[in-house]
Amino acid sequence: MKILRDTTPSQDGFHMPAEFEPHEGCIMIFPERADSWQYGAYAARRAFARVAEAISRSEKVTVCASAAQYDNARVLLPEAVRVVEMESDDAWARDYAPTFVRNAAGVLRGIDWGFNAWGGLYDGLYFPWDKDDRMARKLCDLLERDVYDKRDFILEGGSIHVDGEGTCLVTETCLLSRGRNPQMTREQIEDTLKEYLGVSTVIWLPCGIYNDETNGHVDNICAFVAPGEVVLAWTEDEEDVQYPMSRACLEILERARDARGRSITVHKLPLPAPVRITEEECRGLDSCRDEPTRTPGERLAASYVNFYIANGAVVMPGFQDPADQQAKEILQRLFPTREVVQIYARDILIGGGNIHCITQQIPAALAEARDPR
């Protein structure tokens, strides 16, 4: 594996493909951390296993597990899933597995962004995070892909969504947050995204989902379902604190043009009724640096937008909410060639994210493509 420091993906003719394009596989990480996942992550591991199983029906899934959890992961996960021993601090593959870029010949390379646990010592969620930060590079080595070193720029995979045709969606609350790249202007951040993701248009949504502890990752509020088409997390309840947030995003999307000059079609995806963590669930969480990680009654950032698009399926969360079925039907209509699989995801949500946050796609490379470097 070569570490590329002298050129950028854009200069080399690489760009990030959309998630709805064909995949070689998917990366996940087995959960273990007792201040993220209630009761020692027992239920979270089973929920992750159900997600891995659903994805593995149509693409190769690789799950990274600690030495302590390797045997358990191997037993719990289907045979078709590859389990590798790799250390991490937590289980958010979307945020610190590599972002992959591809060129016209089908060669695949990774990007190793800097990771600081969603805000470092300013407003990050745990310390240390160095094992997470090393994963992108280790995974590129494992997958035999050269990797761009961009560790001087803090970015999580959940904070970007691309259409594969030159457009990237982000949120201002996250990308401009003080805990990430405070020395950079908005223009410099946008230029970095263009250079590394191979995009020419960045659409800045103002915010994400209420109480999302990532400073509002875009992948919880808005996602491309096709070029020129997005789903947006939506509520009709004007009293809900989420209403003005989703409305502000809608207004930007309605005025936006993508890289090809198209207007954006917005499909509203209903939100579930507010999901709150219970006292019993909080009792099952360890504290983090002397502080409880959650407070009973706290609203969790539940959203159906946090789905994963696999080759043959869309794997989406369910919350045992009356809106589960409606959200599933909307996604099934938008993805007619894939089976929409809904997985009860409360045990993932308690950790602070959902199915998109715990998965990272590896785009399909051309089998015969060789990296010329």
Interacting residue with ligand KQY among 83, 256, 357, 362 (CB under 6 A): 357
Contact with ligand KQY (CB under 6 A) among 25, 98, 208, 353: 353
Closer CB to ligand KQY, residue 167 or residue 214? 214
* Tokens standing for residue 346: 């409360």
> Does residue 15 bind ligand KQY (CB under 6 A)?
no
Please work out, in degrees rounded to the nearest 5, the angle formed at the alpha carbon of residue 70 by the alpha carbons of 302 and 319.
Answer: 15
142 DSSP 8-state letter: H
Q: Taking contact as CB under 6 A, which single stretch among the options 107-115, 127-135, 142-150, 350-358 is the one that binds ligand KQY? A: 350-358
Quote the least distance from Cβ 92 to ligand KQY, whole Å. Answer: 5
Q: List % helix, strand, coil for the chain (3-state, nearest 5).
A: 30, 25, 45
For the chain, the residue count is 373
Active site residue 357: yes
Q: How far is the CB of 171 from ligand KQY (least distance, A)?
A: 13
Buried b vs exposed e over 108-131: b needs ≥16 C-beta within 10 Å? bbbbbbbbbbbbbeeebbbeebee
Taking Cα atoms as reference points, which of 308, 350, 304 lies closest to residue 42? Answer: 350
Mapped onto helix, strand or coil, the DSSP state of residue 124 is: coil
**99 lies in the binding site for ligand KQY (CB under 6 A):** no
Residues within window 165-204 making contact with ligand KQY, judged by CB under 6 A: none
Which window, 183-191, 256-264, 270-278, 349-357, contacts ligand KQY (CB under 6 A)?
Answer: 349-357
d(CA 47, CA 344): 8
Catalytic: which of 174, 207, 249, 357? 357
Picking from 62, 68, 122, 74, the residue whose alpha carbon sits closest to that of residue 98 is 62
User: Contact letters (x/-) for ligand KQY, 111-130, by CB under 6 A?
Assistant: --------------x-----
Which residues here bind ligand KQY, judged by CB under 6 A? Answer: 36, 92, 94-95, 125, 158, 213-214, 217, 351-353, 357
Residues annotated as catalytic are 357
